[in-house]
Amino acid sequence: MGKTGDIRAAVEAELTLDPRVDARDVIVRNVEGEVALRGTVSSYPGLLAAAAAARRVSGVTGVHNHLEVVLPAGDYRDDAMLTTAANNALTGNVTVPPGIEATARNGNLELVGTVRYGSERAAAERAVAELTGVRNIKDYIDILPDVDPTNVLVIVQGVLDRYAVVDDDSNVAVAISGTTVTLSGNVRTWAEHDAVVDAAWMAAGIDDVRDGLSVTG
């Protein structure tokens, strides 16, 4: 079995070992480190956990999550019940700013509102992601356009310094156009990759982070 088979088998093993993932109906495909997940899982947290598990495997350079959530009969919630539960979760979470609202349609949650930081938008998603009955989340939350390019660069560079990313191993470049940050270059690990992407979202006013980073392993 060559490298392609090795990576696929390793991802399948990682999925099986993760208690949050029911991997029985998950199909893994790998093309030169680009892994695609297809099939079904029984919960939205399981869908997210499957992608996270695949990314932990050495040699994986990208994960394309095409999984669908098929809820067990006992986990179904009608639109009104799930909408109420989601809005209660949003208003009861101190990391989510006021004014964020959710609407459920057949298990798909739509989030709307306005925030200053991408981290606040991510917090809203986390607040509702583990509710019973959620099949997917569509995030339509707007971010106020209040970008300080210098601040973005300082935040990202601080993360690179803390992770001891040096020029011999990584060459991350940060470009800013309007409210969009584009990241390019190389990092050594997925942990560094995630830290850099998260750092770019920490700046006020950023509404899109385009991830062009390569993980060299």
63 & 98 share domain: no
Q: Answer with the one of 28, 53, 69 that is the final residue of a domain.
A: 69
Residue 41 sits in the same domain as residue 90: no
Domain match, 92 and 136 both: yes
Do residue 180 and residue 130 come from a single domain? no
What's the one-letter identity of residue 84? T
Mean pLDDT of the residues in the chain: 87
- Count of domains in the chain? 3
In CATH, what number is assigned to the domain containing residue 153?
Answer: 3.30.1340.30
81 and 134 fall within a common domain? yes
Asked whether the beta carbons of 41 and 19 are under 8 A apart, the reply is no
Is the model more confident about 78 or about 208? 78
- Would you say 111 and 141 are in contact if contact means Cβ atoms under 8 Å apart? yes
Q: At what angle do helices 149-162 and 190-202 cross, to 10 degrees?
A: 150
* Listed residues 143, 162, 190: the one ending a domain: 143
Tokens encoding 154: 């300082």
Instruction: Please tell me whether residues 11 and 24 are part of one structural domain.
Output: yes
Whether 57 and 88 share a structural domain: no
- pTM equals 0.73
Final residue before a domain boundary, out of 113, 143, 173: 143
CATH of the domain at 83: 3.30.1340
Q: Contact, 133 vs 76, CB < 8 A?
A: yes
Return the pLDDT at 52.
92
Residues 6+ apart with CB under 8 A from 30: 4, 7, 8, 11, 36, 60
Asked if residue 46 and residue 8 are part of one domain, the reply reads yes
* Whether residues 64 and 31 fall in one domain: yes
Domain boundaries, position 136:
73-143
Query: Does 109 have pLDDT greater than 90?
Result: yes
Do 78 and 62 belong to one domain? no
Q: Is the pLDDT of residue 2 over 50?
A: no
How far is 126 from 177, CA to CA, in rounded Å?
A: 28
Predicted confidence (pLDDT) per residue in 133-187, tens digit: 999 999 999 888 776 667 777 777 776 677 655 445 567 888 888 778 888 888 8
